[in-house]
Structure 1
Amino acid sequence: MVRFSLSLSLLLGTTLVFAQPAAKPKSTSIKPASRVSKSSPVSLSVNLNAPIPLDPGVKIGKLPNGLTYYIRKNTEPKNRAELRLVIRAGSVLETDRQQGLAHFMEHMEFNGTKNFPKNELVNFLQSAGVRFGADLNAYTGFDETVYQLPVPTDSANVFNQAFQILEDWAHNATIDPSEVDKERGVILEERRLGRGAGQRMRDQYFPVLLNNSQYAKRLPIGTEEVLTTFKTETLQQFYKDWYRPDLMAVIAVGDFDEKQVEGIIREKFSRIPAVKDAKPRTEFTIPPHDDTKVVIVTDPEQPNTVVQVIYKRPEIKERTLNDLRESIKRGLFNTMLGNRIQELTQRKDPPFLGGYSNYSNFLGNLDAFTSIAVAKEGNVERAIRAVLDENARVKQFGFTATELARAKQEYFASIEQAYNERDKTRSASFVEEYVQNFTDKAPFTSIEFYYNFFKKEQEGIKLAEVNALVDQFIHNDNRAVIVMAPEKDKGKLPTVDQIIGFINDAGKGLTAYEDKTLNTPLLAKQPTGSPVVSERSIKEIGVTEWTLKNGVRVVLKPTNFKNDQILLGATSFGGTSLYDLKDFQSARFSSTLTSLGGTGEYNQIQLSKFLAGKQVNVFPYVGELSEGINGSVAPRDLEVAMQLLYSYFTQPRKDADVVQGFISNQRSALQNQINTPTPARVFQDTVSVTLGGNNPRRQPLKPEDFDKVDLDRALKIYQERFANAADFTFFFVGTFKEEQLKPLIEKYIGGLPASDKAEKFKDLGIRIPAGQISKTVYKGVDPKASVQLVYSGDLTWSPETTTQLDALAEVLEIKLTEKLREEEAGVYGVGSNAAYSKYPVPRYTFRISFGCAPENVEKLIAKTQELVNDLKQKGALPADIAKFKAETRRETEVQLKDNQFWLSYLQNQYYNGDAPDEVLHEDELLKKVTVESTKEAANTYFGPNFIRLVLLPEKKSESGK
């Protein structure tokens, strides 16, 4: 897997690929602090010149050969460990003849090592319940290559073999020439997937943005010429030069005996000989420039106009306690500026589709302060001026004391939860800190130390200090501007001089920011509650059901999986299905438009400020067949969450100006997609319309659809959907005691309006069409294809049936990966997925999807059909069935200790009317998955209803050939 670019998806799925490389937030290895009382004393004894102390919970060692190791015992999740092998070498170290081989080497580690020939490594781990891709994975960046191996620790054999795998990766890769040649196709397919407008524009602006440095010349994916022609010896040389112990770290975090793990590491990795006369590991830099570099790039498949202003500056290395204090100031600055820019989208006529300003890591030896704006109707000047004016407003007037107080509260709250969860932190959360420590010397301290440090320092951080940062961030030298736009708008774009003028002239005629807040109760009138009148216990799964006097059902599952987390949800039948087509658009946007208004007396901006520093997230939704509430809250803020929930039910608020701005932005984004439709968008629209039987409710959203949205009607529909609480089931999962939660539930949920009227959804008759359908979309200039093969039909709803479908999907994906990727080298990845639902009627959808070269479409579809037919004739191999069972059991072990799983599971079980304790019978269901059952399932679900959907490049005209 390649890791090097940043992309964000905003605005109805429009993908905006920004110019900068993957930005790492400053101090990701340092955990922010928690909230403390205002009376906490500021210590005068802290020596800010002292180094940041490393977390004493981590054992760090170094072998005589130079290999570094990190070991931490951590019991969340139980019987699991996260292992990493980190190589401080990536694509930036390649020679001209090795471009792409750092990444190629990463692939080859899975294609044969001394102790795991061919595909045995993947087979062994799958048999132990480790999924390839989802669990077992790796990535290559500019400066490092990281191998990820999560494994169970309750099997001594599997755990020991996992370290053997790490050792093999470190120095025992076989790099067989025949395997190299097979893998070329897989790598080329991965490279093919990355092709498109973003890649074409990046190839133009990277040399300028990165000032022709080595980074600009060494994208990890490499060049097609090298990938197709390099000799095996060239790859072997890269492995020999850079896979050596002085550039390696082994990281182990998990539920194990630390001394035992240290002994295993010393035994296995001491066998790697130190390299004499090692090749110097050059630390490449990106040279500065005094001028402003401007690059304007266009592409026929770029849907939006995106402007970035990037102020590059030397990287801030965090080493001392003063550096740690400075990182807190930067975090406060980013928070306040981000909140201001977000407010601009709440206007009647927002100046852009999206934007932000932020200080973060950049690449190599640089950090960057980056301002980004996505222009509305292609208006570059208005978009970038709006963002830069906010930067300038800070420069001229600074932030306000109330903004800083809120930012500190947000900072406190975000980490207080981490501090409270310090004994429940998952192993995966730790390993990235140690990777960064090894690759970039980024320090990692304990949450306990950071918590106390913040308590001592946070009040001493004054407004003037934070305001002064803007002068450090914004400067005219070492500045780059990247404009990406649709090809059709090339003639409308401003010139380089005009763009520089926009930037230099920003900030004229500004006034100071006015921090408008509301200081009134969220609920003007307290609800009149109703008591619990009946109780039912489901002891097998630790669940209690309450029925309140107003008819509401509440399902509770107290857990100890987290110390500071309560998840909540509510669901009711109905949704947009109950409304005629003329009201469909108003209904589908009803919860969105209502939420944009805020709630009660609070508009959305005021509500956001009111909730600052509180760990509360509650949001309503209206779907097609149901409506409800989802959210999360820290126990200390539970009453605020309950008030917000009550308010969303009883005090919906409309804000016509904000809604007008939202709709204006959505229209503009959709029009961009229509004017410059991307191949992926066109194909996905075709898939949705086809699978939706061309139903009006499955058509792509168009700008004119917003003409059918009526705010008053949307608000009325929302009120109707949430008028009767007795038609809802509420769910609470997490850290609470029932007796403590009971008064709040009786007051706020018991106080909701309710009646004895029960609603059901309406079956709209939308089904995937029966029979055989084939559709080919011709769109795009790149030589790449996408394939989706869809089977569908009616279903007998039962846990046995859905388990057989899951098994069929997994065993087929295993075989598709072996055949299409490993043998044919025709795809990078292939998916096999079974989806099923009970409502409106029990149905299943089985989807197979992959990307490939256009000339390979028919061959790979034929290979897929061969595998499907093989399953129908013979059933699955026992070994593949065993892998499915092992993976499922291992996944469930972890899920049963996860609050989010339980919330989703309970909501689904009650929604479908299924047994709440079904999960406890998984082993019985898995025993029923056999060779014969997979054969029967294949014949049942790979039936006559088959849809073939293919995306191919646009056909060239005869004159263009």
Structure 2
Amino acid sequence: MKKLIHLVLIIAVSTHAFAQKLNVPIPNNPAVKVGTLKNGFKYYILKNAEPKNRMELRLVVNAGSILETDAQQGLAHFMEHMNFNGTKEFPKNDLVNFLQKSGMKFGADLNASTSFDETIYQLQVPTDSVKLFERAFQILADWSNYATLDTAEINKERGIILEEERARGKNAQARIQQKVLPILFNNSRYANRIPIGKTDIIQNFKPEEIIKFYKDWYRPDLMAVIAVGDFDAEKVENLIKEKFSAIKMPKNAPKRIQYEIPATTGTQTAVILDKEIPQNTFQMFTRLPKEKTKTQSDYRTDIAEALYNQLISNRLQELSKKPNAPFVVAIMNYGSFLGGLDAFQTIVLPKNADGLEAAIKSVIDEQNRIKKFGFTKGELERAKKDYFTGVEKGFKEKDKTKSAAFVGGLVQNYLQGTAYTNADFRYEFTKAQLDGITIDEVNAISNKVMKEDNRVAMVVGSEKDKDKLPNEAKIKELVSYVNPDLKPYEDDIALTPILEKIPVGTKVISEKQIPEIGVTELVLGNGVKVALKPTNFKNDQILFSATSKGGTSLYSDADYISAELASTLVSQGGVSKLSDVQLDKALAGKVAQVYTYIGEISEGIGGSTSPKDLETALQLMYAYVTQPRRDDEVIKNFLKNEKELLANAAKTLTPEKVFSDTVTTVLYQNHFRRQPTKPEDIDKANVDRAFEIFKERFADFSDFTFVFVGTFEIEKIKPLIEKYIGGLPSTKRQETFKDLGISKVKGKIEKNVYKGLEDKARVSLQFNGDFGYSEEELINLDALSEVLDIKLTEKLREEAGGVYTPSIRASYEKLPKSTYNLTISFGCSPANVDKLVKITLDEIAKIKANGPEKVDVEKVIAEEKREVELQVKENGFWNSYLLDQYSDGEDLNFINRFQSQLIDKISVGSIQKAANQFCTDNIAKFVLLPEKK
């Protein structure tokens, strides 16, 4: 139940008898089998049907960087890496190879993470292969006790870890963090045990140090196995006993100390600046005692706290939309922290550097308003509706919940002792308790969390704005100020319905079945085509989308900014007679999200809802496109915010932003519509013209195609579709997009960008060209990118030790003309750029000359099969797939043929052909390097 920034408070209830009634443990999910082996190894087993033929495995180690000695800083994380570089059953890199051949992808299905207090290894494993099923538990056992920790492998891994540190640690955010954490963690052990560690130790530690860390902390009494999935639970338990029972406790094992962050008095303040931070922010943390959720009384308090967080969020979101709001984004939240603490957190992003003091005052005013006057009953009732809707949705989806969703609760039970309940208890308990949570009970939480002791208040910003930002003394003054003129919050609600008049609509005039993909096509009297795909993947979800050709391509360069912003500006005002704020309140407790967009060559609609709220969602969709509400004050505020944010960011452009903008500008030959947005561009937005363009784009639905995917019956959904989609305007105009002739530069291009203070580089190699958009090309370009991912990870990371993670991405588009892009990118040391680029191009040349290695092709085929097997069981996949196929005029049955026939046509020869076709002399090489000194 607990979420990030979530604090448990014990609030007095009205009667002693009531308190006694709830002062009993929260029942754990009875379906979870929990056991402890004689050696202390704990295990959790839960049989769960979704996704079919898959299981989620975790090895949880109750040990992280906090337990390192001074000489071991970084070795908890290093140990995590080494478990992928040789174990008893899987020497050297055999583990990754074995899993890739089984269709698992490194990063997605096979991963691990190291934190201060724990290390967690994860596998998502198919269960329809007996060999893989059994080997998966051997892998976990190997990680827990049988890592080889070969000296040669340790030395090879040093470079990879250093490149990870370069990628994550050599930037403005990391430099800020180095200054923030000692303050935030009060110079405790946490401040000196950042998981990535110290580079000099990573470079020079003796293998004996990591072996000692492994033997000291990877031990049965500090580890648990979690297995959730579509399997025989008894067989899983037997495998766990077989693989883990023989592991012995080390003699004289050190005590697992629980470290804490000591408290401070009053409010500490700090101003932390950096040359490359693009935005100024104010951040305040109040560190509070941690209380665990174990009893039903605690659980009831958890619900009150969740409501409290939601109420604050709603207030701040509403405040940000006011014309005179001094901030763009503000956050207040409380929940779990570190070192036996929870925290109440406040963050505010001002519109500009000059306005930071006003932004701080505004959020402090809101804190004080909440403490003094509390929330209103109307606010609480809406929050309760939203909360119950979420719980109810979880209850309805309990048999369709994915295994991964259960893992977190079991991990936290092992590490923190928190309860792991099930959807039935959550639903029944919430239904019984929610109404009884009073406004006084929720308001009382403020006194628990809005404290002035053990508090840190910081300004983090750009050195360029140093003279405009408050100093430490001023920060202390701002956070302590109490405005004597504070007034209670006024709840702006309206009882107006979304639609005052329901459209008459038009009937279905034709119907077509496409049984091979389970789609029914309808054509309505106004010309709209609707594709319906009922599914049983979820019990309480309907996704819908719509598209039509046209977009901003139909408008002149003079109108471009107005067209580009049209949908966003229109959305600011709400619909019909309801403002955006009033609309949010009217939708409390309903699952009905709708948005519109105007892209370059198309315009469209997207939405998600539940079966019971489908009509509300359709009304909202209809209102957005036929009755948008114009609110010039809100729009003016929005445009002002955008301009000030862009202007503020332009003063301190990050190296990554400069690099990205340069790549786009050079590739698209400085085309006006591919330039980065500048502050002065906002002035070109004409609100009158933007509304005209929006209305033009959604004036005629006769050429729109709608797609609905999810939980519905076709005959029951038809009347709603006829009413709301059949009632959309139709002029039967003949329209398509305009090809603007925006094309990428041809030939060999090389461009170095010098930006940044740190010793780090970024390489982007891009192959571009025309594309036939045939099925063969689509499949083999993707397969080529996957082969390159495997091969370049092997060559650049594992062998050269020169990168952390290379990224290979293939993309293509059919309209306005068929083109492809193959991008290879990686971060590295500036000294290694030429060497690593050469390795990359040499590997491509080998594939072009000889084809890829057969084993890599087999891995790609296995991965593709496993991935698509899961994709076709997702509503989101079908929603986007069907819309794309309709929009591009492609075969709707392609996915079935891909799954049953086309994957197996991927071969050494087909990928070799693709490499020669796509890796041509149309290559652009971009390199980001540090500024010249």
Task: Calculate the TM-score normalised by the size of structure 2.
Answer: 0.98
> Contact (CA 8 Å) 1:349, 1:660: kept in 2 or not?
no
Which residue identity is paired with 1:212? Answer: N
Q: Partner of 2:11 in structure 1? A: none
Residues in 1 aligned to 2:18 and 2:334: alpha-carbon distance in whole angstroms = 29
Give the corresponding residue for 1:88: 62
Separation in 2, partners of 1:758, 1:66: 72
Decide which of 306, 309, 314 is 1:339's aligned counterpart.
314
Mapped pair 1:477 → 2:453: yes
Question: Residue type of the partner of 2:84?
Answer: F
Cα RMSD (Å): 1.3
Establish whether residue 843 from structure 1 lines up as the match of residue 823 from structure 2: no
2:437 is aligned, of 458, 461, 470, to: 461
Rounded to whole Å, the distance in 2 between the matches of 1:45 and 1:822 is: 59
Query: Could you report, residue by residue, the CA deviation over 1:524-582 in whole angstroms, capped at 9, with x for unpaired residues?
Result: 21111110010110001110000011111000000011000000000000110110000
Residue 853 (structure 1) aligned to one of 820, 826, 829? 829
> Residue type of the partner of 2:682?
F
Question: 1:784 touches 1:853 (CA, 8 Å); kept in 2?
Answer: yes
- 2:503 is paired with a residue whose SS is coil
Q: Give structure 1 stretches of 5+ with no counterpart.
A: 1-21, 29-42, 957-961
Any idea what SS the aligned residue of 1:60 has? strand
1:72 match: secondary structure: strand
Range with greater deviation from structure 2 (518-527 or 150-159): 518-527
From 654, 658, 669, the equivalent of 1:678 is 654
Asked if 1 retains the 8 angstrom alpha-carbon contact of 2:6 and 2:343, the reply is no
Partners of 1:371 and 1:388 within 8 A in 2: no
- Which position in structure 2 is the counterpart of 1:17? none
Q: C-alpha separation between the residues in 2 aligned to 1:506 and 1:407?
A: 28
Match of 2:714 among 738, 743, 755: 738
Which among 374, 379, 386 is matched to residue 403 of structure 1? 379
Contact 2:506 2:723 survives alignment (8 Å): yes
Q: Which aligned pairs between 1:864-903 and structure 2 lie closer than 5 A?
A: 864-903=840-879
How far the C-alpha of 1:643 sits from its partner, in A, is 0.3
Q: Is the 8 A contact 2:56 2:122 kept in 1?
A: yes
Once the two structures are superposed, residues 229-262 of structure 1 have per-residue CA deviations (whole angstroms, 9 ceiling, x without a partner) of: 1001100000000000100000000000000000
Within the candidate set 60, 78, 97, 2:52 is matched to 78
Out of 222, 247, 253, the position equivalent to 1:247 is 222
Distance 1:196 1:943 in 2: 34
Please list the CA deviations of residues 199-253 of structure 1 after superposition, one character each: whole Å capped at 9, or x if unmatched.
1111112111111111111000001111111001100000000000100000000
Alignment of 1:946 onto 2:896: no
SS at match of 1:308: strand
Q: Which residue of 1 aligns with 2:351?
A: 376
Alpha-carbon distance between aligned partners in 2 of 1:606 and 1:113, rounded to the nearest angstrom: 60
Alignment of 1:230-379 (within 5 A): 230-378=205-353, 379=355
Query: Contact 1:49–1:322 (CA<8 Å) still a contact in 2?
Result: yes
**Within 2, Cα distance between the matches of 1:400 and 1:436?**
34
CA contact (8 A) 1:23 1:363 kept: no
Structure 1 position 631 matched with structure 2 position 607: yes
Give the superposition deviation at 1:291. 2.4
SS of 1:726 mapped into structure 2: coil
Contact 1:344–1:351 under 8 Å retained in 2? no
Q: CA deviation at 1:26?
A: 3.0
CA distance in 1, matches of 2:338, 2:365: 26
Q: Distance in 1 between matches of 2:657 and 2:792?
A: 26
Cα distance in 2, alignment partners of residues 648 and 476 from structure 1: 45
TM-superposed deviation, 1:89: 0.2
Instruction: Tell me the residue number matched to 1:49.
Output: 23
Match of 2:520 in 1: 544
Give how far 1:382 is off: 0.7
Give the counterpart letter for 1:744 in structure 2.
L
Distance of aligned partners of 1:27 and 1:532 in 2 relative to their CA distance in 1, 3 Å threshold: farther
Q: Where does 1:425-464 land on structure 2 (aligned, <5 Å)?
A: 425-464=401-440
Aligned to 2:204: 229
Q: Distance in 1 between matches of 2:379 and 2:553?
A: 43
Amino acid at match of 2:702: A
Q: Which runs of 5+ in 2 are unaligned?
A: 9-16
1:558 aligns with 2:553: no
How far residue 784 of structure 1 moved from its aligned partner, in angstroms, is 0.5
Once the two structures are TM-superposed, the CA of residue 276 in structure 1 deviates from its matched residue by 3.2
Q: What CA distance in whole angstroms lies between the structure 2 residues aligned with 1:222 and 1:352?
A: 36
**1:804 paired to 2:780:** yes
- Give the CA deviation at 1:23: 7.8
Distance in 2 separating the partners of 1:927 and 1:566: 33
**Do the aligned partners of residues 562 and 265 (structure 1) sit closer, same or farther apart at CA in structure 2, a change above 3 Å counting?**
same
Q: C-alpha distance in 1, partners of 2:482/2:152? A: 59
Aligned length: 921
- Is 1:133 the counterpart of 2:113? The answer is no
Q: What percent of counterpart residues are identical?
A: 51
1:46 Cα deviation from its structure 2 partner: 7.5
Shift of 1:388: 1.4
CA distance in 1, matches of 2:3, 2:419: 18
Q: CA deviation at 1:693?
A: 2.0
In structure 1, distance between residues paired with 2:129 and 2:377: 56
* In structure 1, distance between residues paired with 2:361 and 2:302: 28
Match of 2:908 in 1: 931
Separation in 2, partners of 1:664, 1:549: 43
What's the CA shift for 1:25?
4.2
Residue 927 of structure 1 and its aligned partner are, at CA, apart by 2.4
Alignment partner of 1:725: what SS?
Answer: coil
Q: C-alpha displacement at 1:350, in angstroms?
A: 2.3
Contact 2:7 2:336 survives alignment (8 Å): no
Aligned position for 1:826 = 802
The corresponding residue for 1:163 is 137
- Indicate the SS of the match to 1:47: helix
**In the TM superposition, what is the alpha-carbon distance from 1:849 to its structure 2 partner?**
0.5
- Please give the per-residue CA displacement for 1:167-213, whole angstroms capped at 9, x wherever unaligned: 10000000111111110000000000112111111111211111111
Give deviations 1:411-453, integer Å, cap 9, x for gaps: 0111211110000000011111111111111211111011111
Q: Would the aligned equivalents of 2:335 and 2:344 in 1 still touch at CA under 8 Å?
A: yes
Specify the code of the residue in structure 1 equivalent to 2:835.
Answer: K
- Structure 1: how far apart are the matches of 2:767 and 2:287? 52
Give me the whole-angstrom Cα distance separating, in 2, the residues matched to 1:129 and 1:672: 47
Equivalent residue in structure 1 for 2:125, among 137, 143, 151: 151
Q: How far has the Cα of 1:349 moved from its partner?
A: 3.2
* Counterpart pick for 1:586 among 562, 569, 573: 562
Aligned pair 1:721/2:720, yes or no?
A: no
Q: Is the Cα–Cα contact under 8 Å of residues 345 and 662 in structure 1 kept in the other structure? A: no
Distance in 2, matches of 1:375 and 1:802, equals 46
**Residue 711 (structure 1) shift:** 0.9
Does residue 24 (structure 1) correspond to residue 4 (structure 2)? The answer is: yes
Q: Name the structure 2 match of 1:667.
A: 643
- Give distance in 1, aligned partners of 2:884 and 2:484: 55
Secondary structure at 1:708's aligned position in 2?
coil
Shift of 1:343: 1.0
Q: What amino acid is the match of 2:925?
A: R
Secondary structure of the residue that 1:56 maps to in structure 2?
A: coil
Pick from 547, 570, 574: which aligns with 2:550? 574
Q: Any conservation in 1 of the 2:594–2:621 contact (CA below 8 Å)?
A: yes
